[in-house]
Chains A and B, each alone.
Chain A
Amino acid sequence: MNPSLIDILLRPDAFFSRLATENESLKIPALIILAGGIVAAIHGFLMGSLNAKMMAGVMPGMDIILYLVTAAGALIGVFIFWILAAGVFYLLSLLFKGQGSFNRVLAIAGYGYLPQIAGSILTLAAAIVYIPKITVPVLTKAALTDPAMTAEVTQALMHDPAMRELTQITTLVSIVFMLWSAHIWIYGMTHSRGLSPRDAAICVGGPVVLYVLYMTYTLGVM
């Protein structure tokens, strides 16, 4: 791995102070996001098998389409997340009179996503172990017209013991690596937008902590 990428994970302050002196480039951040998207797509492909089983009674023979749609959704979702995160950081930094372009914020959001690739690989491994153990209820055509029944089926899937454990592991791993990303983003925002560490911590920590709290809440009510 490029030593500078190691710096992102372990010495983000030094990495971003050096990056601030260089020209803006989204090449590496985009590659990081793409890598994260590919891992997420593979994870989505596996999770798509659950959807395919659930929909087998409604759309027989459509398994591969469901797999591809889920995988593509995960891939695109990572890119959307990248842009949304950068947008939120950028807008919040405006409150603290932050300086610098959106592209630079986009770049630091991309670099900061690096820990989450590791998290995605871990959750992918967990999915490979747990998905075969999950009992998937089958959705029929009649049930598809009844939203209550559809919700009930989804609930049944989510309450499967294997599915529950997989969700817990995935959520905790995601929280850990999301906080790691937030740690990186705070340093990135400090250098890219000329914010004080306190303001940068508020710009990044605020939405990230809220997001993580939401994840914790969903974990609790599951």
Chain B
Amino acid sequence: MKSHLFLTGICLLLLTGILPGTALAYATPESIVAYGHVFVSRAVYDPAVFFSGDHGTVTVYVTNGNGNESVVVNHAIIGDKNIRLTSNSYETSANIGPLQTQPFIFSVTADAVEGTYYPIFSLGFRDAESLYYPAMVKIDDTPLDISVIDKPDTYTPGKKKTVGLLVANPRNNNVTNVALEVTGAGITANPERIFIGEVGARAKVPVNITFTPRQETAVLLTLIYNNGDNPHRTTMEIPLVFRVDKKQANPVMSNVQVSSETGVYHVTGDVNNAGLETANTVMVTALAPAVPLDPYKTYVVGALKPDDFGSFEVTFTAEPGNTSIPIELSYKDDDGNIYRSLQDVKISSAGISAASASEGGSSNLLPVAVAVVLILLFVGFWAYNLKRNKK
């Protein structure tokens, strides 16, 4: 027991003798003055502006402003409850030479909502008190913006359309790896992904997307970008409702005439393009119940510009009893989509008679009346003749 008390006394004597002796050995007035020339020259965040929840780094540059004296630092740390430190603090001694700058890099996570925050950077000196520096950082959740600046009047099935977009970065920092994805049920986009690259703070980039819809749907635009190393995305939908394209080509048949020779019908006529776009590869053919026959099973009129016209002739046979035959007019737009329209053409007067039976009846009245009058004249003449002879 006595030996334990003796050892404890020895240790306490050593501690009280050594520690105060050491502190007193460095914390001199000269050293305090020298450490007063050490300052934080700048603190750089990456990303410069955080989204809530973003991970990033902060680099604090500490400069020794002394012209001929080094300083020793032995502890560095940054962060608070909003800007949380996720890497280790500096716990080893480091020497910063005269007029030298030493960076201290930390990983942090922005755990707060939007706002401006001042996490404290703390630097411990060997021979003086610590240095504290509020390193300002902003958290801003404003995403990138997509605007439609040019779009077609109408969408039609199978017809390729181009929409003009503007990708804008309203943030105060650059974003990188910006890419736009175009997706949607029943559409074919070409390309499906457009790489834009870096978009500077408050900058905007025009982008054109091209797609071909096959059904009424919504085109989903997904803008992907990195804020620092943190991926983010913004989405936008463009609803697609099919309507009649006011500008599309509109081939119309006119001056249709039917003739028949040895059982083969010849249908001739003109095709006028009443639309505002070119109708390519305009073709005319007869459909069932007609049986197309050489020499003009199908007549290719060719391309018709707006207000242009061309003549056609198709030949076919048909089963008896058919009073009209559907004539198909087809054309292609600039994307190769085929458009078809039908027009019934009367090939015999049977239909006419059915449609105008009363007209037919009335048209027979005159010849019947004439025939009756002739008979009455004949009978009357002979009745008179016989009566006169009898007298």
Measuring CB to CB, which residues of chain A are less than 8 angstroms from any residue of chain B? 52-54, 56-57, 63, 135-140, 142-143, 149-150, 152-153, 155-156, 159-161, 163-164, 168, 171-172, 175-176, 179, 182-183, 186, 197-198, 201, 205, 209, 212-213, 215-216, 219-220, 222
Contact = CB atoms under 8 A, between A and B. Distances in A.
A215 B370 CA distance: 12
B378 interface: yes
Contacts of B347: 135, 137
Contacts of A179: 374-375, 378
B367 A143 contact: no
A212 B266 CA distance: 39
Given A52-B262, A142-B319, A219-B371, A201 B382 contact: yes
B320 A135 contact: no
A137 B379 contact: no
B367 A168 contact: yes
Contact of B349 (A135, A168, A201, A213): A135
Contacts of A160: 348-349
Interface string B168-200: 000000000000000000000000000000000
A206 B338 CA distance: 70
B105 to A, nearest CB: 92
Task: Specify which of B264, B317, B348, B385 lies most central, judged by the most chain A CB atoms within 10 Å of its CB.
Answer: B348
Interface stretch (B28-36, B209-217, B253-261, B295-303): B253-261
Given A137-B320, A149-B321, A219-B367, A161 B375 contact: no
B370 A209 contact: no
Interface in B338-391: 347-350, 352-353, 360, 363-364, 367-368, 370-372, 374-375, 378-379, 382, 385-386, 389-390
B206 to A, nearest CB: 62
B379 A205 contact: yes
Nearest to B349: A160
Given A137-B350, A160-B348, A175-B374, A53 B319 contact: no
A156 B349 contact: yes
B323 interface: yes
28 contacts: A57-B263, A135-B258, A135-B260, A137-B260, A137-B320, A138-B260, A138-B264, A138-B317, A143-B321, A152-B320, A153-B320, A156-B349, A159-B353, A164-B363, A171-B371, A172-B371, A175-B371, A176-B374, A186-B382, A197-B386, A198-B386, A198-B390, A205-B378, A209-B378, A212-B375, A216-B368, A216-B375, A219-B364
Contacts of B323: 156
Contact of A212 (B320, B350, B371): B371
Contact of A53 (B263, B363, B364, B375): B263
A64 B379 CA distance: 43
Interface string B105-136: 00000000000000000000000000000000
Given A172-B370, A205-B382, 15 more contacts: A56-B264, A57-B263, A140-B319, A153-B320, A156-B320, A156-B321, A160-B349, A163-B349, A172-B371, A175-B374, A179-B378, A183-B378, A209-B375, A219-B367, A219-B371
A94 to B, nearest CB: 21
Quick one: which of A142, A163, A164 has the most chain B CB within 10 A? A164
B318 interface: yes
A143 B320 contact: yes
Given A135-B260, A219-B371, A209 B320 contact: no
Contacts of B321: 137, 143, 149, 152-153, 156
B320 A222 contact: no
A159 B319 contact: no
Nearest to B320: A153
B261 A53 contact: yes
A203 to B, nearest CB: 12
Contacts of A197: 385-386, 389
B262 A222 contact: no
Q: A-B pairs with the 6 shortest C-beta distances?
A: A56-B263, A156-B350, A159-B353, A138-B263, A153-B320, A160-B349
A141 to B, nearest CB: 10
Contacts of A172: 367, 370-371, 374
Contacts of A212: 371, 374-375
A135 B389 CA distance: 52
A219 B263 CA distance: 27
Name which of B263, B264, B386 has the most chain A CB atoms within 10 A of its CB. Answer: B263
Nearest to B374: A175
Nearest to A205: B382
Interface in B65-116: none
Contacts of B318: 138
B263 A54 contact: yes
A108 to B, nearest CB: 17
A221 to B, nearest CB: 8
A201 B386 contact: yes
B372 A156 contact: no
B349 A159 contact: yes
A209 B372 CA distance: 10
Contacts of B262: 52-53, 56, 63
Contacts of B319: 138, 140, 142-143
Nearest to B363: A164
